[in-house]
Amino acid sequence: MSTQKIAIVTGAARGIGSAIAKRLASDGLAVAVLDLTEDSCADTVSAITEAGGKAIAVGADVSDEASVTAAIEKVVEELGPPTVVVNNAGIIRDNMLFKMTVDDWDAVMGVHLRGAFNVTKAAQKHMVDAGWGRIVNLSSTSALGNRGQANYSAAKAGMQGFTKTLAIELGKFGVTANAIAPGFIETEMTHATAERMGVPFEDFKRASAAQIPVNRIGVPEDIAHTASFFISEGAGFVSGQVIYVAGGPKD
C-alpha cells in the first residue's frame, strides 16, 4: 500500500496556492489542486505532473458545504484519504467601511472563514483515522488591521482563532494546525490592489519594499517554503502557531 500523503490545497489555481501545491508535490505529496473550476487548475496540475509529481484538479466552491463534500469524496476516490489541508482560498472586496456592502462582507467571510471551516471539517475525519494530519491556514498581516479591509482583516484574524482552536481540539489525534500570515506578496491580488489605488505596480512594489526590513517584497515561494515546514514530519511539535512571513517583525 502506498504511503504517499495526500494534500488538498484550496485556491491553488494561481498565486500563493499554486506555489504551495507545487512545493508539496516536490516534497513528495500527491496534491488535490482545488479552485472554483476544474479548468482553472489545469496550469498548476500540468506544472506538477510535468515535474514528475502527482496531482488532480478539483473544482469546488469552498463556501458551499455540498460542493466541498463532493470535492473531498473525489479526492478520496482518485488519490486517497487526505491528511494535509492548506486553506488558502481567498478573495478581496476592499472598501472603506461606509461604502462596504453586506454582500462585500458576506462574500469575504464565506470564502475565507466558512470555506476553511467546510474543508477542514470534511477532511479532519481522515486525519483522525490516520492518527496524523497537518492543517495550514492562510492568515495575513491584514489581521492586525488595514485601511479599506474591514471584511478581509476580520476574516484573516478569524483564521488565527480558528487555527488555535483546531490545534487544541485535534492535537491528541496527531494533527497539528498552524497559520501563515503573509505580508506583501507579489500576486494577482496585489496587482489588483495597486490598480484600485491607481498606482503603477512597479511603483507600488518599490514603495512597499522600502518599508520592509529585508528590502524586498515577498514571492509566493516564500509562503510555500513555510507551508512545507509546517507540513513536514519534523514539525510535529509545532501547533497553534501563527508565523508572519513579512520580511520583518509584526505584532
Mean pLDDT in consecutive groups of 10 residues from the start of the chain, 251 residues: 88 98 98 98 98 98 98 98 98 96 98 98 98 98 96 98 98 98 93 88 93 97 98 98 97 69
Residue 192's pLDDT is what? Answer: 85
Residue 196's pLDDT is what? Answer: 81
Number of domains forming the structure of the chain: 2
Residue 1 placed within a domain: no
**Pairing relationship of beta strands 175-182 and 30-35 according to DSSP bridges:** unpaired
Do 36 and 127 lie in a common domain?
yes
Rounded Cα gap, residues 20 and 29, in angstroms? 11
CA 20 from centroid of its chain's CA atoms: 8
Active site residue 244: no
Residue 193 placed within a domain: yes
End-to-end CA distance of the chain: 45
Residue 94 placed within a domain: yes
Do 146 and 190 lie in a common domain?
no
Residue 118's pLDDT is what? Answer: 98
The amino acid sitting at 2 is S
Residue 237's pLDDT is what? Answer: 98
Residue 1's pLDDT is what? Answer: 46
Marked catalytic residue, from 15, 33, 112, 152: 152
Rounded Cα gap, residues 218 and 206, in angstroms? 12
Task: Give the domain extent around 51.
Answer: 6-183+219-244
Residue 40 placed within a domain: yes
Do 162 and 197 lie in a common domain?
no
Residue 190's pLDDT is what? Answer: 87
Do 37 and 122 lie in a common domain?
yes
Reading the block at residue 140, the C-alpha cell is 495575513
Do 113 and 198 lie in a common domain?
no
**CB neighbours of residue 238 within 10 Å:** 14
Residue 249 placed within a domain: no
- pTM for the predicted model, two decimal places: 0.97
Residue 2's pLDDT is what? Answer: 59
